């Protein structure tokens, strides 16, 4: 089988998915600009990389490139992981019978009354949509997409990817004895970091050694105001954007993602859970699913400061519960969000469109 994948930068899970498919015998071409650290894995697995960034939905150069690769390499299936690439694939292959597969990682921003939606997920040329979560799958089904078209495929991980030692707490000005609440995100209003800051601020006088660690750029003016009003700034730690954000996860005793709407599976929470750090998430999008509806983490209502404060207090006062949730969260990544399972499910879907059936050896 020969597939053409259309992506953007290609993250770690995607690089391992395409590498795994190539090792299983699939011939893979990718139109993308992979991150340098993933390029070697792809090329060493035999994946053909064509560097191109789709500038918009009607990228003429991209459309011609798709047509050329499909024609020259007798491509069987096109798998589009970006909206722009998907539109260009639909337009470029309009008169051909090659099946198109799409990837959907978020809810929202689709409507049957939006003409551009018919160039992507609602287009009949799209035969399968890989849904990153049950929440995304349900969202598409509610839009009227047929059940056999929306397939649930978690983006898998391997906990070994995230086992690098953390830096010392002192490097970030954090006392060794502190109980650290951490959050890694591009801090836009939708991420609910303002809710987190208010929750921690309400607990500072009550809980000695409670500290807040925020990793990532601030894109919400409300956050700047709340930080200036924070009761004890020595318990507040801001790192800004960090290339080593994954290593910083284990500086926290608990990670929080308090998103207000449309959250999928936040990468930073998965990375923390992979390292055994317990998670508190809001009941938004795929996050309750990520922590097994509260069995492998704590779920709180979105935008509810008292509820989030109570959850933080609960883990602060119950270290054994925090350790248990950390272990259960890590186990959930291993058992449910496993990269080998993702590769096999992806292969099965691609095979179903070409009437093949192959079992991938781990």
Domains of the chain: 2-156+338-354 (3.40.50.2000), 160-335 (3.40.50.2000)
Q: Is the pLDDT of residue 359 over 60?
A: no
How deeply is 219 buried, as exposed, middle or buried, from its count of CB atoms within 10 A (0-12, 13-18, 19+)? middle
Q: What is the pLDDT of residues 106-120, one digit of tens each?
A: 887 888 888 888 889
Q: What is the pLDDT of residue 358?
A: 42
pLDDT of residue 154: 95
pLDDT at 225: 95
The Cα 225–Cα 223 span in angstroms is: 5
Residue 19 near residue 98, CB atoms below 8 Å: no
CA separation for the pair 5, 38 (Å, rounded)? 15
More confident site: 278 or 111: 278
Where does residue 355 fall: left (phi above 0), alpha (psi -120 to 50 degrees), or beta otherwise?
left
**CA distance between the termini of the chain:** 19
| 89 within 8 A of 17, measured Cβ to Cβ | no
Per-residue pLDDT tens digits for 51-94: 999 998 899 999 999 999 999 999 999 999 999 999 999 999 98
**Angstrom distance (rounded) from CA 271 to CA 321:** 20
Dmax (CA) of the chain: 67
- Which pLDDT band holds residue 356 (cuts at 50, 70, 90)? low
Residue 243 has pLDDT above 60, yes or no: yes
Is the Cβ–Cβ distance between 147 and 128 less than 8 Å? Answer: no
**Cα distance between residue 24 and residue 110, in whole Å:** 35
Paired residues of 300 in beta bridges:
282
In angstroms, the CA 13 to CA 38 distance is 10
Question: Average per-residue pLDDT in the chain?
Answer: 94
The single residue listed with the structure tokens 């929470």 is 269
Contact between 352 and 165 under an 8 Å Cβ cutoff? The reply is no
Length of the chain, please? 362
Sequence-separated (6 or more) residues with CB below 8 Å from residue 71: none
Q: Which residue has the higher pLDDT, 164 or 78?
A: 78
Predicted local distance difference test score (pLDDT) of residue 357: 43
360 pLDDT higher than 50: no
361: pLDDT strictly greater than 60: no
Q: CA–CA separation, 242 vs 236, rounded Å?
A: 17
H-only helix segments in 180-304: 193-201, 221-228, 245-248, 267-274, 287-290
């Amino acid at each position: 089988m020969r597939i053409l994948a259309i992506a953007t930068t290609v993250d770690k899970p995607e690089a391992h998915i395409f590498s795994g498919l190539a090792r299983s015998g699939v011939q893979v071409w990718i139109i993308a600009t992979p991150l340098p650290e993933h390029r070697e894995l792809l090329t060493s697995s035999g994946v053909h990389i064509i560097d191109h960034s789709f500038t918009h939905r009607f990228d003429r150069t991209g459309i011609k490139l798709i047509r050329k690769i499909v024609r020259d390499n007798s491509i069987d299936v096109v798998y589009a992981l970006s909206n722009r690439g998907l539109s260009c694939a639909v337009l470029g292959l309009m008169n051909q019978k090659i099946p198109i597969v799409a990837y959907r990682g978020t809810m929202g921003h689709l409507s049957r009354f939006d003409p551009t939606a018919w160039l992507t997920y609602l287009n009949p040329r799209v035969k399968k949509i890989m849904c990153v979560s049950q929440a995304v799958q349900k969202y598409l089904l509610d839009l009227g997409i047929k059940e056999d078209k929306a397939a649930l495929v978690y983006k898998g991980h391997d906990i070994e990817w995230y086992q690098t030692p953390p830096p010392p707490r002192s490097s970030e000005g954090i006392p060794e004895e502190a109980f650290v609440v951490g959050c890694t995100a591009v801090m836009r209003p939708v991420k609910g970091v303002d809710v987190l800051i208010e929750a921690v601020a309400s607990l500072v006088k009550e809980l000695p050694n409670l500290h807040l660690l925020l990793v990532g750029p601030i894109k919400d003016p409300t956050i700047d105001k709340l930080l200036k009003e924070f009761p004890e700034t020595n318990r507040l730690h801001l790192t800004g954007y960090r290339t080593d954000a994954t290593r910083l996860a284990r500086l926290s005793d608990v990670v929080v993602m308090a998103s207000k709407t449309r959250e999928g599976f936040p990468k930073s929470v998965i990375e923390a859970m992979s390292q055994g750090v317990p998670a508190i998430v809001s009941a938004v999008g795929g996050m309750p699913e990520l922590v097994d509806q509260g069995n492998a983490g704590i779920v709180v209502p979105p935008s509810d400061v008292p509820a989030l404060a109570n959850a933080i207090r609960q883990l602060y006062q119950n270290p054994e519960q925090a350790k248990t949730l950390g272990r259960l969260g890590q186990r959930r990544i291993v058992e449910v969000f496993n990269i080998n399972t993702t590769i096999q499910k992806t292969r099965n879907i691609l095979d179903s469109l070409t009437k093949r059936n192959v079992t991938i050896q781990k």
